[in-house]
Amino acid sequence: MVKYKNADEKVEKGASKIKAEGVGPSFIWLIISLVVLGALFWFGYNYWPSNDVITGNDVVAEDETNQAEEELPPIEKSTVNITILNGSGVAGLASKLADKFVEEEYQVVKKANADNFDYDKTVVKYEVGMQREADAVVESLRALGIEPTVQVGDEVTDVVVIFGSDLSL
């Protein structure tokens, strides 16, 4: 054990030991890295867009729904462009579904096959800003006994309906 003559000598030797060891550049980089990572996580959590899937059963605050319905006029179905994609593989079903939408005065602009025929459930995708139009399409599908999954996407038309094996007309 080291003996000191007085308290001042002990303080001086302790201070010189801290100066000798010092805070090295690696410690400073560690602190900077932790601050940057923390900021990135905070930004990602608060501002990064999500890809949440919205189902017809999701609940919106009642005040928000009522306020939106009161301020906005009803959707003009004739202005909603719909693409119908066959995701079930059943031939002719796209035409039958298109006829149902045309009867309700929607504009069916395209009928085609989906990327595959493995869709078990009907999916409604809509372009950003077209949620009200998609909601109207969802209501039309519900009248046919279908509860579709709804997703926001970058679509070419306003609303895309990919029907699955849950559709039978």
22: left (phi over 0), alpha (psi -120 to 50) or beta: left
DSSP code at position 74:
P
Contact 164, 130 (CB under 8 A): no
Residue 47 is which amino acid?
Y
Q: How confident is the model at residue 108 (pLDDT cuts 50, 70, 90)?
A: very high
Work out the end-to-end distance of the chain between its first and last CA atoms, rounded to an integer number of angstroms. Answer: 92
- Of 47-56, 96-105, 118-127, 150-159, the poorest mean pLDDT is in 47-56
Pull the structure tokens for residue 165.
């094996």
- How far apart (Å, rounded) are the C-alpha atoms in residues 93 and 101? 13
Contact 96, 167 (CB under 8 A): no
Pairing of strands 107-113, 81-86: parallel
pLDDT at 84: 92
Q: Collapse the DSSP code of 162 into the 3-class scheme (helix H, G, I; strand E, B; otherwise coil) and give the result.
A: strand
* Cα–Cα separations (whole angstroms), residue 143 to 55, 59, 113, 147: 16, 20, 23, 9
Report the phi/psi class of residue 167: left, alpha or beta, with left for phi > 0 and alpha for psi in -120 to 50. beta
pLDDT classification of 57: cutoffs 50, 70, 90: low
pLDDT in tens, 64-81: 555 555 677 888 999 999
CA–CA separation, 149 and 131 (whole Å): 13
> Does the CA dihedral 104-106-110-114 come out positive or negative?
negative
Nearest CA among 100, 82, 83 for reference residue 168: 100
